[in-house]
Amino acid sequence: MKRILVKFDQADQIINFVRIMNRFECDADVKCGSRMVDAKSIVGVLSLAKSKTVELILHTDDCDQLMEEIAPFAA
């Protein structure tokens, strides 16, 4: 399991992030406080992450390619 902080300033960044997440097989969640949503759900991530720093939880250790692609969103 890996955890990283991500931040989105605009809704189109969230849309791009979710598109990237959906290309990979691993399960992932986005957490803010006590709320957690599926990182592959555009509605969930939009409702939780707009203009906030949130925690991305990847339920795998084999995600080097994914980490490279989401690097622009790292907080």
Render pLDDT for 21-73 as a digit per residue (tens, 0 to 9): 999 999 999 999 899 999 999 999 998 877 678 999 999 888 889 999 999 99
Q: Is residue 11 predicted with pLDDT exceeding 70?
A: yes
With CA atoms as reference, report the closest residue to 6 among 59, 51, 65. Answer: 51
| Residue position matching structure tokens 């605009």 | 10
* CA atoms of 5 and 53, how far apart (whole Å): 7
What confidence tier does 20 reach under pLDDT thresholds 50, 70, 90?
very high
**CATH code for the domain in which residue 50 is found:** 3.30.1340.10
pLDDT at 51: 65
pTM: 0.90
Beta strands in 1-75 (DSSP E): 2-7, 28-32, 35-38, 53-58
Phi and psi, residue 74, nearest 5°: -65, 135
Domain range for 52 is 1-71
Distance CA 8, CA 64 (A): 21
- Domain tally, the chain: 1
Position 24 scores a pLDDT of 92
